[in-house]
């Protein structure tokens, strides 16, 4: 049997086997993965280091949309929308197992709403060009209610349907890390950067890093270092320049996850203007409904941000205004919060909706390249632009990016064997999961009778998806923490036992893992579950 390139020992071994890298990327979220894959596609020897797990922060906490940004069009940012729509098309092309076409409906309760939104969305269609996912169209009142059965009928005049993309953000991050490794790069989670290496002239020549599992420290040399740490970019910049002014102004977005019955049918609901002038979505996702989001400035960055009561009330109050059967706190299966790394406005504006969502790239006097801002949809373009910047600085030899046509791990079509439909989001890896089940049928047992997830997925995550903890599995491999936090807590002991057996950890490790996950998961609950004695 050939060696497993995703095994941690193989990945950690690269830290000493490679004397010098062309490119070291700090950060394993959407941006860092995009930068690393772009560098690999050009032939550079590339290392990506992530202090926690891939997509642990903002990149697993999005609204699950691959979109051009209808509201950015309303703000007149046509260039940003055109770029994002182009990238949306590439992402659906390169990761079809994780990204799909999703219909959205804007209900119209005003006489002018139908023509206004129809015209605006026709421009959206036009900007998408040949990568359009479907033409927008006006809907009658009856058709709008048929497609959104729980929508409030009083005062409804009709609706407008348009198309955008939807995806599984954390699984895309994992597949991108796998793609980096597939193409000869090294992507390592739980390996944090402690400092920067510099030469006698003060130029950055690499990083000091530590393997969080063993405590071993490494000095790693590179021609260029890219800081792609999202909301933490200023922390890394201050390793380079202690007094560097902030580049990022964090803003948090809160999402509530509800039972599918609150949005039956296949369409998503889009409210274009809430009471505070923002946009609200209710989107079908993995058999549930994601309701969000907010846009609230916060003073500091955190890996586990928490919702403010006012944000929760706002989401429930707004949903109640549009849904006949309105959700309450007791209906919330999970609540998750992401911090957007908004590029700080030069004007000093404190209104997050006025801060550009486009990305920004800067290089320090020492040569550290930092990229911030942007969104999941444009992760590939952000990676390309960051590498272009390093080339323009003379840090890397010129080479063309290949990522526009680069298929992401799993994109190859899965075989049509019986039962693989349950593993459709694994794409080409579905066959491997079926083989694992054939070798060990006991792994076909569900994690919980009420769940669609089976034990084989935990073993697969440990062997081939670089999962190291219960949280890695339940938050970012099977997404259960984001779908139903109480159930995730209930199955944690089973997951811990499977991981311990697969990774060689002892009973004490299992106990610590279950306790740590329980503490984490309680932060995803609005109502404490009743635990039978």
CATH of the domain at 257: 3.30.9.10
Is the confidence at residue 529, as pLDDT, over 70?
no
Same domain, 326 and 180: no
Is the confidence at residue 193, as pLDDT, over 50?
yes
CA angle 143, 146, 148 (to 5 degrees): 110
Same domain, 467 and 320: no
Same domain, 15 and 48: yes
Same domain, 152 and 259: yes
How many independent structural domains does the chain possess? 3
* Both tokens assigned to 384: 């390309």
For residues 161 and 105, is the Cβ–Cβ distance under 8 A? yes
Spatial separation of the C-alpha atoms in residues 126 and 117, rounded to whole Å: 14
Same domain, 16 and 34: yes
What's the pTM?
Answer: 0.95
Same domain, 338 and 271: yes
| Residue in 253, 166, 237, 229 with CA at minimum distance from that of residue 373 | 229
Is the confidence at residue 147, as pLDDT, over 70?
yes
Same domain, 186 and 329: no
- Mean pLDDT (the chain, rounded): 92
- What is the per-residue pLDDT for 350? 46
Note whether residue 34 is domain-resident: yes
Note whether residue 64 is domain-resident: no
Beta bridge partners of 454: 446
Spatial separation of the C-alpha atoms in residues 274 and 234, rounded to whole Å: 32
Note whether residue 181 is domain-resident: yes
Q: Which residue has the tokens 């950067």?
A: 193
Same domain, 178 and 220: yes
Give me the DSSP letters along 198-237. Answer: E-TTS-EEEEEEEETTT--EEEEEEEEEEE--GGGHHHHH
Note whether residue 490 is domain-resident: yes
Q: What is the CATH number of the domain that holds 22?
A: 3.50.50.60
Mean pLDDT of 429-434: 95
For the segment 472-520, what is each residue's pLDDT rounded down to a tens digit?
999 999 999 999 999 999 999 999 999 999 999 999 999 999 999 999 9
Is the confidence at residue 367, as pLDDT, over 80?
yes
For residues 52 and 251, is the Cβ–Cβ distance under 8 A? no
The terminus-to-terminus CA distance of the chain in angstroms comes to 47
Note whether residue 88 is domain-resident: no
Q: Is 242 exposed, middle or buried (0-12, 13-18, 19+ CB in 10 A)?
A: exposed
For the segment 354-366, what is each residue's pLDDT rounded down to a tens digit?
445 578 999 999 9
Same domain, 338 and 397: no
Same domain, 154 and 178: no
Same domain, 373 and 486: no
DSSP state of 464: H
Note whether residue 328 is domain-resident: yes
- What is the per-residue pLDDT for 78? 86
| Residue in 486, 482, 152, 159 with CA at minimum distance from that of residue 326 | 152
Note whether residue 496 is domain-resident: yes
Same domain, 154 and 285: yes
Q: Is 2 exposed, middle or buried (0-12, 13-18, 19+ CB in 10 A)?
A: exposed
Range of the structural domain that residue 160 is part of: 98-165+250-344
- What is the per-residue pLDDT for 73? 75
Q: Which residue has the tokens 């095994």?
A: 7
pLDDT category of residue 69 using cuts at 50, 70 and 90: confident
């Amino acid at each position: 049997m050939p060696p497993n390139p995703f095994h941690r020992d193989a990945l950690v071994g690269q830290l000493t086997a490679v004397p010098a890298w062309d490119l070291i990327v700090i950060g394993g979220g959407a941006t860092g993965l995009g930068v690393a894959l772009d560098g690999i596609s050009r032939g550079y020897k590339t290392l990506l280091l992530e202090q926690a797990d891939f997509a642990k922060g903002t990149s697993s906490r999005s609204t699950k949309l691959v979109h051009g940004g209808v509201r950015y069009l309303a703000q007149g940012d046509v260039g940003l929308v055109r770029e994002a729509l182009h990238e949306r098309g590439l992402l659906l092309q390169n990761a079809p197992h994780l990204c799909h076409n999703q219909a959205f409906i804007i209900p119209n309760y005003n006489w002018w709403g139908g023509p206004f939104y129809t015209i605006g969305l026709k421009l959206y269609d036009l900007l998408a060009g040949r990568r359009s996912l479907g033409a927008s169209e006006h809907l009658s009142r009856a058709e709008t209610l048929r497609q959104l059965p729980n929508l409030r009928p009083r005062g409804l005049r009709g609706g407008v349907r348009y198309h955008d993309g939807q995806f599984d953000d954390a699984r895309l991050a994992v597949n991108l890390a796998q793609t980096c490794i597939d193409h000869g790069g090294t992507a390592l989670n739980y390996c944090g950067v402690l400092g920067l290496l510099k030469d006698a002239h003060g130029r950055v020549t690499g990083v000091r890093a530590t393997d969080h599992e063993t405590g071993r420290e490494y000095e790693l040399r590179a021609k260029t270092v890219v800081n792609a740490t999202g909301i933490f970019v200023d922390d890394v910049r201050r390793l380079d320049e202690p007094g560097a002014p902030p580049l990022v102004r964090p803003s948090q977005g809160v999402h509530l996850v509800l039972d599918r019955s609150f949005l039956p049918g296949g369409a998503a609901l889009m409210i274009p203007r809430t009471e505070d002038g923002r946009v609200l979505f209710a989107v079908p996702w993995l058999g549930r409904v994601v309701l969000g989001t907010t846009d609230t400035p916060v003073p500091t960055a955190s890996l586990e941000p928490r919702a403010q009561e006012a944000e929760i009330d706002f989401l429930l109050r707004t949903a109640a205004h549009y849904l006949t059967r309105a959700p309450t706190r007791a209906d919330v299966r999970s609540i998750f919060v992401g911090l957007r790394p908004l590029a700080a406005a030069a004007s000093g504006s404190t209104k997050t909706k006025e801060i550009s969502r486009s990305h920004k790239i800067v290089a320090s006097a020492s040569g550290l390249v930092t990229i911030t801002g942007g969104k999941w949809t444009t992760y590939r373009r952000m990676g390309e632009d960051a590498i272009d910047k390093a080339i323009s600085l003379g840090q890397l030899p010129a080479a063309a990016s290949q990522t526009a046509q680069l298929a992401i791990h799993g994109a190859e079509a899965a075989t049509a064997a019986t039962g693989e439909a349950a593993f459709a989001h694994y794409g080409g890896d579905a066959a491997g999961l079926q083989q694992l089940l054939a070798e060990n049928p006991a792994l076909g047992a569900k994690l919980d009778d009420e769940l669609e997830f089976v034990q084989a997925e935990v073993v697969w995550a440990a062997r081939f998806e670089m999962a190291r903890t219960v949280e890695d599995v339940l938050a970012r491999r099977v997404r259960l923490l984001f779908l139903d936090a109480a159930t995730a807590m209930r199955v944690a002991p089973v997951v811990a036992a499977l991981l311990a057996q697969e990774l060689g950890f002892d009973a004490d490790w299992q106990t610590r893992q279950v306790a740590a996950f329980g503490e984490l998961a309680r932060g995803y609950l609005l109502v404490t579950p009743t635990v039978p004695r």
